[in-house]
C-alpha cells in the first residue's frame, strides 16, 4: 500500500476548498444576477409599454379624425426577431393592433394595468389617461430572460474552469516549496546509519522543525557515543585476545608433541581445537568491528578485479583447499568501483570461506567475474529453504551444518558490501544447478558521490 503524502493531501484539500468556494461564489453571483436581470427586464418592459402607448394612442386619434377606423388591425412591421411583442386591445379583449411576432389571438393576460406572468411570458399592461377603453399589453418571453441568465452564468463559470486548474497547480507548487524542508529533513534522517551519524545541519531549516532537528542530533550523538564504545570494546577485546590465544595455542601444540598417545593427548587436541575456534572468532569480531566502523566506503575508484584475483590466489596457495577453488573471468570483464580494497578483500574471504567450509567436502567452488561486474561464488551442497537463507544473513545465524563457524561471515560481508553500494544475493540452488548455494555480488551502476565514513 502506498504511503500517504502530506503534499498530495494538502494539495487536494486546498484545491477542493478553493473549487468549492469558487463554485459557491459563482452560484451566489448567478442568484444576484437573476434578481438584477428581473429588475432590469421589468423596468425595460414597463418603459417600453408606456412610451409605445403614447404613440399608439396618438396614431389611433389621427385615424379617428380622418375616419380611417378600419385600420385598427394594422400589423406594425418590424425586421428580424422581436424580443418584445405587443397587442392593443379594447374593453372586449379584441386585438386592435399587434406587432408582427405577436399572436393573432389575444394574450392570456387580464385587462388590468400592471405586471402579469404566465408560464411563457412576462406581461405589462398600460392604459391611457381617461376612460378610453384601450389597453396596450407588452409581452417579454421568459425564454429570453433564461437565455440571458445562462449566458451570464457561463461568463462567470468559464473563468472558474480555467482558474481552478491554475489554482491547483499553484497550490501544488506552493505546497512543494513549503514542505521541501520537511522532505530534506526526512532524507537526512533516512541517510543515517551506524556508518553515518553526523549531525543534521540546522541552516535553512524553518523554525517549526528546529526542535525536531535538535532532538534528532541529540539522539545521534548519544547513539554515536554508544556505538563507538561498543566498537572500541569489540575491537580492543578481539585485538587483545589474539596474542594470549596465539600463545596458549602454541603452548598447547608443544604439549601435544610432548605427550604420548592416550587420553591426555586427545584431551590436549580438544583444547587445541577450542583455541583455534576462539582465535577464529576473535578474528571475525575484529572484522565485524571494522565493518561497523565503515571501512568499506571510500570515494576513490579502485580495481576490485585485481583484489579478487589476489584473494583467490591466496586461497589457492593453501594446501588444504588446493584444487577446490576454480576462478573464471569473462572476456572483457572489469570491476572498478569506489570501494576499499581491504574491505572488499575481507568480504570476499568470508564468502569464499563460507563456501569452502559449508559446501560439500572435496566439491569444487566456482568463482566467476561476469562482464557486467557481477561476482558469483558457487558451491555444491543441499538446497536451503528461504527461512534458512534469511537466518544465515543474521549475526551468529547458522543453517543446517555440522561444520565449525561463528555465523558472522555473511553478516560481515553484507555489511561491507552495503557500504560499497553493492548488494549481496543468496540463491539456493544456484542458477542452472540442481543444488548448492550461490553468493552473488551486484554493484550499483552509479553509486552516490558523497560518502561519509570513519576508518577503523
Residue 122's SS3 state is strand
Q: pTM value?
A: 0.48
413 shares a domain with 283: no
Domain finish residue from 293, 321, 356: 293
Count of domains in the chain?
A: 3
CA dist., res. 6 & res. 179, Å (int): 8
Domain finish residue from 133, 150, 167: 150
* Alpha-carbon distances of 353 from 69, 242, 309, 413, rounded to whole Å: 128, 20, 15, 11
CA dist., res. 335 & res. 306, Å (int): 9
Strand partners, 78: none
Residue 423 lies in a domain: yes
63 shares a domain with 13: yes
pLDDT in 10s for each residue of the chain, 456 residues: 566 777 778 888 888 888 888 888 888 888 888 888 888 888 988 888 888 888 877 777 776 665 554 444 445 555 556 778 888 888 888 888 888 888 888 888 888 889 988 888 899 988 887 667 888 889 988 888 888 888 888 888 888 788 888 888 888 888 888 888 888 888 888 877 656 678 888 887 888 888 888 898 898 888 878 767 766 776 676 667 777 878 888 888 888 888 888 888 888 888 888 888 777 777 777 777 777 666 666 778 889 999 999 999 888 888 877 678 889 999 888 888 888 888 888 889 888 988 888 888 778 899 999 988 899 999 888 888 878 888 877 766 666 665 666 677 888 888 888 888 888 888 888 888 888 888 999 988 754 444 333 333
CA dist., res. 286 & res. 39, Å (int): 94
Residue 128's SS3 state is coil
CA dist., res. 404 & res. 352, Å (int): 15
CA dist., res. 315 & res. 293, Å (int): 26
**Domain span holding position 28:** 6-150
Residue 187 lies in a domain: no
Strand boundaries in 90-160, DSSP class E? 95-99, 114-117, 121-126, 135-141
**How confident is the model at residue 448, as a pLDDT?**
45
314 shares a domain with 266: no
**C-alpha cell at position 90:** 379594447
110 shares a domain with 225: no
96 shares a domain with 21: yes
**Number of helices followed by number of strands (H, E) in the chain:** 8, 13
Residue 184 lies in a domain: no
CA dist., res. 375 & res. 308, Å (int): 9
N- to C-terminal Cα distance for the chain?
A: 41
CA dist., res. 434 & res. 428, Å (int): 9
Residue 77 lies in a domain: yes
- Under 8 Å between Cβ of 435 and 429: yes
369 shares a domain with 337: yes
**The domain that contains 209 carries what CATH number?**
1.10.287
**How confident is the model at residue 282, as a pLDDT?**
73
Helix (H) or strand (E) holding 315: helix 304-316
- Under 8 Å between Cβ of 231 and 455: no
261 shares a domain with 205: yes
Sequence-distant (6+) residues with CB within 8 A of 174 are none
DSSP string covering 342-366: HHHHHHHHHHHHHHHHHS-TT--EE
DSSP string covering 230-292: HHHHHHHHHHHHHHHHHHHHHHHHHHHHHSPSSHHHHHHHHHHHHHHHHHHHHHHHHHHHHHH
126: left (phi over 0), alpha (psi -120 to 50) or beta: beta
**The domain that contains 370 carries what CATH number?**
3.30.565.10
From the list 192, 183, 187, 185, the residue with the least C-alpha distance to 211 is 185
- Under 8 Å between Cβ of 430 and 378: yes
Rg (CA), the chain: 48
453 shares a domain with 355: yes
For residue 251, the number of C-alpha atoms closer than 13 Å in the C-beta half-sphere is 6
Sequence-distant (6+) residues with CB within 8 A of 351 are 377, 409, 410, 413, 439, 441
Length of the chain: 456
122 shares a domain with 44: yes
Domain finish residue from 293, 318, 336: 293
Amino acid at each position: 500500500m502506498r504511503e500517504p503524502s502530506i503534499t498530495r493531501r494538502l494539495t487536494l484539500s486546498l484545491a477542493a476548498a478553493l473549487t468549492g468556494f469558487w463554485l459557491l461564489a459563482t452560484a451566489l453571483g448567478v442568484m444576484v444576477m437573476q434578481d438584477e436581470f428581473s429588475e432590469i427586464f421589468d423596468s425595460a418592459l414597463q418603459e417600453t409599454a408606456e412610451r409605445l402607448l403614447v404613440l399608439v394612442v396618438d396614431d389611433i386619434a389621427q385615424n379617428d379624425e380622418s375616419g380611417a377606423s378600419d385600420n385598427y388591425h394594422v400589423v406594425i412591421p418590424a425586421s428580424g426577431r422581436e424580443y418584445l411583442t405587443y397587442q392593443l386591445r379594447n374593453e372586449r379583449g379584441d386585438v386592435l393592433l399587434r406587432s408582427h411576432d405577436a399572436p393573432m389571438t389575444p394574450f392570456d393576460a387580464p385587462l388590468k394595468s400592471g405586471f402579469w406572468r404566465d408560464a411563457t411570458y412576462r406581461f405589462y399592461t398600460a392604459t391611457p389617461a381617461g376612460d378610453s377603453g384601450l389597453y396596450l399589453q407588452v409581452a417579454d418571453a421568459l425564454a429570453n430572460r433564461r437565455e440571458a441568465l445562462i449566458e451570464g452564468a457561463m461568463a462567470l463559470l468559464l473563468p472558474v474552469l480555467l482558474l481552478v486548474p491554475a489554482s491547483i497547480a499553484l497550490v501544488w507548487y506552493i505546497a512543494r516549496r513549503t514542505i521541501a524542508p520537511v522532505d530534506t529533513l526526512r532524507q537526512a534522517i533516512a541517510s543515517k546509519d551506524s556508518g553515518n551519524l553526523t549531525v543534521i545541519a540546522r541552516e535553512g531549516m524553518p523554525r517549526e522543525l528546529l526542535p525536531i532537528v535538535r532532538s534528532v542530533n541529540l539522539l545521534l550523538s548519544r547513539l554515536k557515543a554508544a556505538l563507538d564504545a561498543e566498537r572500541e570494546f569489540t575491537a580492543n577485546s578481539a585485538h587483545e585476545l589474539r596474542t594470549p590465544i596465539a600463545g596458549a595455542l602454541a603452548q598447547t601444540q608443544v604439549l601435544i608433541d610432548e605427550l604420548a598417545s592416550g587420553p591426555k593427548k586427545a584431551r590436549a587436541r580438544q583444547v587445541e581445537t577450542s583455541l583455534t575456534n576462539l582465535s577464529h572468532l576473535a578474528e571475525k569480531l575484529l572484522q565485524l568491528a571494522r565493518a561497523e566502523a565503515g571501512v568499506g566506503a571510500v570515494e576513490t575508484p579502485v580495481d576490485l578485479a585485481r583484489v579478487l584475483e589476489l584473494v583467490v590466489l591466496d586461497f589457492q596457495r593453501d594446501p588444504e583447499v588446493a584444487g577446490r577453488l576454480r576462478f573464471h573471468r569473462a572476456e572483457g570483464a572489469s570491476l572498478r568501483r569506489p570501494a576499499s580494497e581491504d574491505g572488499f578483500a575481507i568480504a570476499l574471504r568470508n564468502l569464499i570461506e563460507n563456501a569452502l567450509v559449508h559446501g560439500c567436502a572435496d566439491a569444487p567452488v566456482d568463482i566467476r567475474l561476469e562482464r557486467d561486474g557481477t561476482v558469483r561464488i558457487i558451491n555444491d551442497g543441499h538446497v536451503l529453504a528461504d527461512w534458512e537463507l534469511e537466518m544465515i544473513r543474521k549475526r551468529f545465524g547458522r543453517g543446517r551444518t555440522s561444520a565449525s563457524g561463528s555465523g558472522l561471515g555473511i553478516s560481515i560481508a553484507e555489511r561491507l558490501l552495503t557500504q560499497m553500494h553493492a548488494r549481496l544475493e543468496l540463491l539456493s540452488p544456484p542458477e542452472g544447478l540442481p543444488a548448492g548455494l550461490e553468493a552473488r555480488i551486484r554493484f550499483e551502476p552509479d553509486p552516490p558521490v558523497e560518502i561519509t565514513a570513519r576508518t577503523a
